């Protein structure tokens, strides 16, 4: 039996190059998820400014806001396919430069956009168009960022390096929640609704310029250079060449399976980390400040568990850590929600509960990027893992707010978020059990 070995080029990559790859990949993810978090946290404010026609209710406006939110997610697979193809053909570096420029420009323009009161019916359409551009760029971000992080990772540390993608997602959501909470504390309600909500979007411009500078200094990955030069990994070179249609079918199956493995992470992550503020306000009558504090605690738990989970998966495998996370989320969903609904429960207990919810989601998010990278060869890695992630997020993250808000409105059942999370995490857990236990020890495929 041949023992799998790690790719020598990965193992000899100089530490500064690996650190630059982490920084260049991480900062784009931070900006992307900071913005998506801000949009979710200010959903009620955006609804009032852009989606409340004469006679419309607050609930209808919120549903329209989440519809725009979901639309951006449904353009993520388009962006993943478009930019993924460019990234697999032209390189990770130039594609990630293009993606960060598109994301930064669209987000900054949202902060400058006239509202419904100023522009009329054109305002929500322009906002939706900018959300579409963000969806396209976000779809191209994940595949490239994870590719450079894992392709530059030293042997036995792909889980740790890939976890930085998820960690910067957590930092972005946490920063968005923190900025929103700060503004809510410093500004009056009229100031926040009038102009204060624009500030977090405008802050993206200097962040984007910093990300652009880092990516301009980035080198191309060893795996991509080797594949482009026609020098496949020695293990791959011994494999017989498959029929022409086989790689496409194999990639399509891997994308579908990858989306299923991420389903629980996508649904639980957005339910607990992004949708929760609006749910607490609209369903449980929490104040804006209370909802944001709860979200900050959930994102803090999420952030603190991601890096340890990724490192642990380098030791015990992706399957064990991610399946445990999906199981824990499914088991804890109803107790958590019931605790939040309990008016007699202490504030400390509720804070600990949302912190724990975020932490168990982190068990799936930490190893997730490396797990996806290991599913695809270099020639389709950017496209494949980007599409798997984008499809899962489009269906189970982008629709989370819309599904939960509409279902609660129609049924009156305030346990809807728990049902949503339990079903998706259960399906995801069974998909995760199909992982091989030693994938974390194998070299990335060229």
Looking at the chain, the whole-number percentage of residues with pLDDT higher than 90 is 37
Close Cβ partners of 6 (under 8 Å, ≥ 6 residues apart): 155, 156, 443
Residue 10 pLDDT more than 50?
Answer: no
Would 238 be classed as within a structural domain?
Answer: no
In this prediction, residue 97 carries a pLDDT of 94
Q: What is the pLDDT of residues 222-257, one digit of tens each?
A: 888 887 776 554 444 444 444 445 578 888 999 999
Alpha-carbon span 333 to 4, nearest angstrom: 39
Residue tagged 């990559």 (tokens): 13
Residue 7 pLDDT more than 60?
Answer: no
How many domains is the chain partitioned into structurally? 1
Average pLDDT over residues 160-171: 89
In this prediction, residue 69 carries a pLDDT of 65
Alpha-carbon span 257 to 433, nearest angstrom: 11
pLDDT tier for residue 94 given thresholds of 50, 70 and 90: very high
Would 369 be classed as within a structural domain?
Answer: yes
Angle at 381 between CA 379 and CA 387, to 5 degrees: 130
> 412's torsion region: left (phi>0), alpha (psi -120 to 50) or beta?
left
Would 446 be classed as within a structural domain?
Answer: no
Residue 262: Cβ within 10 Å count: 31
CA 266 to the chain's CA centroid: 7
C-alpha dist (Å) from residue 287 to 59, 126, 244 = 16, 29, 58
Nearest residue to 323 (alpha-carbon basis) of 211, 428, 182: 428
Alpha-carbon span 266 to 109, nearest angstrom: 27
Q: Are 375 and 440 spatial neighbours (Cβ–Cβ below 8 Å)?
A: no
Q: Are 279 and 402 spatial neighbours (Cβ–Cβ below 8 Å)?
A: no
> 55's torsion region: left (phi>0), alpha (psi -120 to 50) or beta?
left
Q: What is the pLDDT of residues 182-214, one digit of tens each?
A: 888 888 888 888 898 899 999 999 999 999 998
Alpha-carbon span 376 to 378, nearest angstrom: 7
Alpha-carbon span 438 to 446, nearest angstrom: 18
Q: Which of 10-24, 252-266, 398-412 is the least confident region?
A: 10-24
Residue 13 pLDDT more than 50?
Answer: no
Instruction: Give residue 298's domain range.
Output: 10-221+247-440
Close Cβ partners of 57 (under 8 Å, ≥ 6 residues apart): none
Q: What is the pLDDT of residues 25-64, one digit of tens each?
A: 888 888 887 887 787 777 778 877 887 655 555 666 666 6
In this prediction, residue 187 carries a pLDDT of 87
Helix, strand, coil distribution of the chain in percent, nearest 5: 80, 0, 20
Would 375 be classed as within a structural domain?
Answer: yes
Q: What is the pLDDT of residues 382-403, one digit of tens each?
A: 999 999 998 998 888 777 777 8
Which CATH number goes with the domain that contains 98?
1.20.1250.20
C-alpha dist (Å) from residue 231 to 88, 151, 227 = 15, 15, 6
Would 3 be classed as within a structural domain?
Answer: no
In this prediction, residue 231 carries a pLDDT of 52
Close Cβ partners of 446 (under 8 Å, ≥ 6 residues apart): 7, 223, 226, 227, 232, 233, 236, 377, 378, 379
Would 1 be classed as within a structural domain?
Answer: no
Q: Say which residue, 438 or 81, is predicted with more confidence.
A: 81
- 330 is written with which tokens? 């499914």
In this prediction, residue 236 carries a pLDDT of 43
Average pLDDT over residues 328-347: 86
Alpha-carbon span 251 to 220, nearest angstrom: 23
Residue 333 pLDDT more than 80?
Answer: yes
Looking at the chain, the whole-number percentage of residues with pLDDT higher than 70 is 88
Residue tagged 């650190």 (tokens): 19
Nearest residue to 307 (alpha-carbon basis) of 182, 198, 169, 422: 169
Would 241 be classed as within a structural domain?
Answer: no
Judged on CB neighbours under 10 Å (0-12, 13-18, 19+), 338 is middle
Nearest residue to 299 (alpha-carbon basis) of 349, 340, 351, 358: 358
Alpha-carbon span 208 to 30, nearest angstrom: 10
Residue 126 pLDDT more than 50?
Answer: yes
Q: Are 395 and 420 spatial neighbours (Cβ–Cβ below 8 Å)?
A: no
Q: What is the pLDDT of residues 265-288, one digit of tens each?
A: 999 988 887 777 667 777 777 777
Would 294 be classed as within a structural domain?
Answer: yes
């Amino acid at each position: 039996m041949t023992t799998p070995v790690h790719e020598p080029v990965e193992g000899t990559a100089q530490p500064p190059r690996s650190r630059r790859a982490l920084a260049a990949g991480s900062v784009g993810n931070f900006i992307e998820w900071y913005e998506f978090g801000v949009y979710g946290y200010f959903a009620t404010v955006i609804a009032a400014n852009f989606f409340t026609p004469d006679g419309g209710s607050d609930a209808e406006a919120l549903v329209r806001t989440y519809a725009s939110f979901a639309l951006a997610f449904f353009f993520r697979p388009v962006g993943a396919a478009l930019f993924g193809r460019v990234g697999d053909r032209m390189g990770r570096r130039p594609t990630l430069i293009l993606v960060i420029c598109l994301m930064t420009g669209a987000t900054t323009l949202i902060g400058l956009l006239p509202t419904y009161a100023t522009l009329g019916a054109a305002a929500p359409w322009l906002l939706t168009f900018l959300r579409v551009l963000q969806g396209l760029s976000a779809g191209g971000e994940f595949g490239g960022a994870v590719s450079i992080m894992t392709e530059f990772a030293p042997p036995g540390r792909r889980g740790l390096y890939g976890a930085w993608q998820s960690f910067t997602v957590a930092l972005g959501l946490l920063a968005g929640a923190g900025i929103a909470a700060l503004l809510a504390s410093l500004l009056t309600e009229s100031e926040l609704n009038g102009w204060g909500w624009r500030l977090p979007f405008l802050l993206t411009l200097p962040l984007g310029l910093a990300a652009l500078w880092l990516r301009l200094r980035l080198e191309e990955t060893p795996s991509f250079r080797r594949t482009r030069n026609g020098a496949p990994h020695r293990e791959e070179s011994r494999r017989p060449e498959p029929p022409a249609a086989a790689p496409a079918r194999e990639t399509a199956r891997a994308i579908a399976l990858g989306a299923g493995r991420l389903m629980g992470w996508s649904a639980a992550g957005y339910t607990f980390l992004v949708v929760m503020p609006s749910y607490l306000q609209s369903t449980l009558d929490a104040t804006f400040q209370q909802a944001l504090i709860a979200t900050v605690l959930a994102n803090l738990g999420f952030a603190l568990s991601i890096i340890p989970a990724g490192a642990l998966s380098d030791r015990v495998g992706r399957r064990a850590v991610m399946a445990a996370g999906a199981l824990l989320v499914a088991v804890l969903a109803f107790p958590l929600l019931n605790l939040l609904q309990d008016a007699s429960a202490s504030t400390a207990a509720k804070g600990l509960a949302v912190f724990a919810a975020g932490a168990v989601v982190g068990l799936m998010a930490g190893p997730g990027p490396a797990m996806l990278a290991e599913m695809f060869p270099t020639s389709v890695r950017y496209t494949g893992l980007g599409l798997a992630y984008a499809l899962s997020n489009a269906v189970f993250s982008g629709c989370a707010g819309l599904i939960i808000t509409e279902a609660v409105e129609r049924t009156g059942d305030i346990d809807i978020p728990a049902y949503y999370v339990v079903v998706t995490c259960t399906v995801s857990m069974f998909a995760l059990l199909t992982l091989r236990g030693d994938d974390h020890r194998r070299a990335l495929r060229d």
